[in-house]
Structure 1
């Protein structure tokens, strides 16, 4: 791609894709919550939080490029985090949660955009436009910060109002309502942390492989 397009064309395409991701994310989140029969429950979902994180990240990145400024290390960090979060969210929804409910009206579309379209667009952006840089493996731990914080806040809030956004975070009841104990909740959180870590390691290993190939070619 880099050899086929001019630097200016690549930048315009990158900005356009960033704006598409940000606008799609923002509109989808708003409509998904607005048309939800339980707006509060919708607002607590990790998919909503991850897509808001992506919307903010790609909006800031697009504005940064439009003003011809260099993207910061924090933006690079957030873009990589976005890729990890949304891909894990896609897999979790598709294989664990998609059979748990049905959608009507606009939420049929927003469910698709939030869980499938935006992950594909974020992955496409990473493949086509993002500079491949070397990252230390310690970044895997940093990228875990947001998911772990999300789980902690969800559990603390559940202690007060009894609501948990996902069955695997609910220590009460049995599947499909909950998992029966805090021990089981902890095991689920450790399992998800492992999945997030694997994606982080794979991302760093992929970067190293790409950079190594470029040096040797």
Structure 2
């Protein structure tokens, strides 16, 4: 069963728009809270992987939801690829928060409690459930799993460069003050997790043999 003109398809589309709006509200609330402490450096605020991933989620969720309301049915390939990337990123956001940040009491760039819950906990769970349950898409080629790894690679390179130059890092486990050997270990482990999640997301899309409109 896919989204085509069924009531459940419209409910799913509306839910995507609603969650995209809720995530946008969480990002805005976080920005306002940060601004209340002083001038906001946009390179720092949007340097957090959490903020970037949730911003991507806002665009993808609202876009997919509106398209689903206007034109129910299988989604075009570009949108499926975008959803795949957002799903990979959000799953990593949830895993990193649960394993590396929450145990340290670190907010991960989201000091507002309800916004933290939206972006670090509920968001990853709901996005993963959407990808697992919804069947309004076709299978993705395996090469997408490789291509979507380019984003975290570039993000990590920029973060490490900034850590070595101006000293700013978004997360404590990437702080060069603890030694580059330790940072490298974290990077290698997280990169492996990224690869596993990326290929799992693409593999799941291939469980149903539907054509994609490109």
Shorter chain as denominator, the TM-score bin is 0.7 to 0.9
1:153-195 C-alpha deviation (Å, 9 max, x unpaired): 2223334421111223222x22xxxxx12x4433322221210
- RMSD between aligned alpha carbons? 2.7
CA distance in 1, matches of 2:172, 2:112: 21
Specify the alignment match of 1:215 in structure 2: none
| 131, 139, 145: which one aligns with 1:140 | 145
Higher RCO structure, 1 or 2 (CA under 8 Å, sep 6+): 2
Whether 1:94 and 2:91 are equivalent positions in the alignment is no
Specify the alignment match of 1:59 in structure 2: 62
1:169–1:185: 8 Å Cα contact kept in structure 2?
yes
CA distance in 2, matches of 1:66, 1:203: 25
Structure 2: runs of 5 or more not aligned: 210-214
Specify the alignment match of 1:18 in structure 2: 16
Whether 1:82 and 2:86 are equivalent positions in the alignment is yes
Larger-Rg structure: 1
CA distance in 2, matches of 1:80, 1:147: 14
- What TM-score do you get using the length of structure 2 for normalisation? 0.80
CA shift for structure 1 position 54: 0.6
Structure 1: runs of 5 or more not aligned: 175-179, 213-217
Match of 1:211, SS?
coil
- What TM-score do you get using the length of structure 1 for normalisation? 0.79
| Alignment: residue pair count | 200
1:20-72 C-alpha deviation (Å, 9 max, x unpaired): 12101110011122213575454322111100011011222223334428733
Q: Which deviates more, 41-50 or 188-197?
A: 41-50
Whether 1:165 and 2:170 are equivalent positions in the alignment is yes
Whether 1:32 and 2:37 are equivalent positions in the alignment is no
Question: Judging changes above 3 Å, is the alpha-carbon distance between structure 1 residues 124 and 206 closer, same or farther for their aligned structure 2 residues?
Answer: closer
Match of 2:139, SS?
coil
Specify the alignment match of 1:195 in structure 2: 193
